[in-house]
Amino acid sequence: MNSFSILVADDNQEDLDMITSGLKSAGFDVIQATDGVQAERLAHEQRPDLTILDLRMPLKDGFEVAASLHTADLPFISLTSYGEEEMVQRATDAGSLAYLVKPLDIEQLVPAVQSALTRAEEMRQLKESMEQMDKALSQGREISMAVGILMERCNMTAIQAFDALRDEARSQRRKIADVAKEYLAAAEALHGLSSRLSERAREKTQRASKRVPKRFPTRTVQ
């Protein structure tokens, strides 16, 4: 059984019941709303894992509800009628993770919901990582420097570099600042070693060039 809760907002009772039945059969908990005002209120009160939102709703326009959900970081997918490409684009611009077209194919419902839930979780984790990174970078110079070095040497994004440090800290049950300091010390030691080896190689080349005997021009006997 799924532990996810889904808010279904549709003023067409037949469609609402069909979607609800399909989701419940797949093990989802379902909350129903039949107008835009009710949908917005229930979304903010219940904070479902996902909202399926009909864009044509009474009392409050579906796009107004979509904007409210997007602002509150409440993931949603939109319901549109066949041929409403402009509405689909508007919904996507408003933050819709996906869209379903009426008349609805119930066999596509659950896979679409599962895909949207997966994407919503990925976005939540990304936002969490960005917030943690911003907080850590503002509090620790070492973390910022370590992230910068990882980005340069390992061709990582800032998020990837921070996640690498954070994962290493978690695996060792240490503070990320301590892991960053350790990484910086290792990077500095490696840089120092590289500099010394490079200098020795340069000096060796210079000494070798000095030992090469001078060549005198030869004369040809007439």
State pLDDT tens for residues 42-60: 999 999 999 999 988 899 9
> Which band of pLDDT confidence, cut at 50, 70 and 90, is reported for residue 222?
low
**Domain closes at, from 63, 92, 122:** 122
Give the whole-number percent of the chain exceeding pLDDT 90: 38
Same domain, 146 and 55: no
pLDDT at 196 (0 to 100): 65
Residue type at 66 in one-letter notation: A
pLDDT digits (tens, 9 = 90+) for 186-219: 877 766 655 666 666 676 666 666 665 655 555 5
- Tallying the residues shown for the chain, one arrives at 222
pLDDT at 130 (0 to 100): 75
**Domain range holding 191?**
140-208
Same domain, 85 and 186: no
CA dihedral sign, ordered 219, 220, 221, 222: negative
> Which band of pLDDT confidence, cut at 50, 70 and 90, is reported for residue 133?
confident
Chain centroid, CA 84 distance in Å: 29
Residue type at 52 in one-letter notation: I
Map 93-132 to HEC letters: HCCCCCEEEECCCHHHHHHHHHHHHHHHHHHHHHHHHHHH
- Collapsed DSSP state (helix, strand, coil) of residue 3: coil
When divided into structural domains, the chain yields a total of 2
Global pTM reads: 0.62
C-alpha 164/C-alpha 109 separation (Å) is 36
Higher pLDDT, 206 or 178: 178
Same domain, 170 and 118: no
Same domain, 109 and 174: no
Residue type at 49 in one-letter notation: D
pLDDT digits (tens, 9 = 90+) for 66-118: 999 999 999 999 998 766 778 878 888 888 998 888 888 888 899 999 999 99
Residue 189 CB burial class (10 angstroms; 0-12, 13-18, ≥19): exposed
- Collapsed DSSP state (helix, strand, coil) of residue 32: strand
